[in-house]
């Protein structure tokens, strides 16, 4: 994967961002091996997204591409947590992502290996069970009900802009929740999409080609 900054300079770039925003006297440092593993995970994620396929050209990660950088920061915070557990370094990267992108997904959440956050401003992803080929747009909320139940997503689930999925929901493979839909303690079967029609009423339809198959190389 081609980088817009060298790996060393990218690591320094992130370090300077963190130290500037959190001047608590505790110098932030990332081990080069941790950083390299994070970039490897990022590459495996981005290479499955059609939007980033340049048709014969090498996949490129640009630190000034906000969707890509959002994804990288989450993966980096997750990698730090995997190696070192709950620590200030993981917390600072999580917080940096919140400041830069308005994206709230804790580093110990189990996002899948392959996912695409598109324009993730205002998106909050709780501790649901996620699977590969997850597509999430802006303003999405995934969370728990009062009873403590979280949603369970199978492979290829898509969540449209400003949608909300709360509680004991089971979204089967290649199902979709449309823009502005609130889905609470309900299930969606494979290839189903729940959307709002022109009257504002919820409507469930069957998709011949689900949204995730337009987005990912599946």
- Mean pLDDT computed over 83-87: 97
- Mean pLDDT computed over 67-72: 99
For the domain spanning 115-215, the CATH number is 2.160.10.10
Lookup result for tokens 């995970």: 41
Domain extents in the chain: 2-101, 115-215
The reported pLDDT for the residue numbered 148 is 85
- Mean pLDDT computed over 166-170: 96
Task: For residues 125 and 103, give the distance between their C-alpha atoms in angstroms, rounded to a whole number.
Answer: 8
Q: What is the mean pLDDT of the chain?
A: 96
Tell me: the pLDDT tens digits for 25-61?
A: 998 999 999 999 999 999 999 999 999 998 889 999 9
Lookup result for tokens 């590459």: 43
Asked whether the predicted pLDDT for residue 62 surpasses 90, the reply is yes
Asked whether the predicted pLDDT for residue 147 surpasses 80, the reply is no
Handedness of CA 30, 23, 97, 130 (dihedral sign): positive
Beta bridge partners of 2: 60
């Amino acid at each position: 994967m081609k980088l817009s900054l060298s790996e060393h300079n990218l690591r320094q770039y992130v370090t300077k961002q963190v130290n500037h925003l959190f001047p608590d006297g505790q110098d932030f440092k990332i081990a080069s091996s941790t950083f390299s593993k994070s970039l490897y995970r990022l590459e495996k994620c981005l290479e499955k997204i059609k939007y980033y396929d340049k048709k014969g050209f090498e996949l490129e990660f640009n630190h000034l591409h906000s969707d890509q950088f959002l994804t990288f920061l989450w993966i980096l915070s997750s990698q730090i947590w995997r190696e070192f557990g709950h620590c200030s370094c993981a917390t600072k990267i999580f917080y940096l992502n919140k400041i830069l992108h308005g994206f709230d997904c804790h580093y110990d959440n189990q996002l899948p290996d392959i996912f695409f956050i598109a324009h993730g401003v205002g998106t909050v992803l709780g501790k649901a069970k996620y699977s590969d080929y997850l597509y999430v747009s802006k303003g999405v909320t995934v969370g728990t009900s009062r009873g403590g139940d979280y949603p369970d997503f199978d492979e290829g689930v898509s969540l449209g802009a400003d949608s909300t999925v709360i509680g004991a929901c089971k979204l089967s493979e290649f199902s979709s929740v449309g823009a502005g839909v609130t889905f609470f303690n309900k299930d969606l079967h494979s290839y189903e999409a729940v959307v709002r029609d022109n009257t504002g009423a919820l409507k469930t339809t069957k998709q011949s080609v689900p949204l995730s198959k337009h987005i990912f190389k599946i």
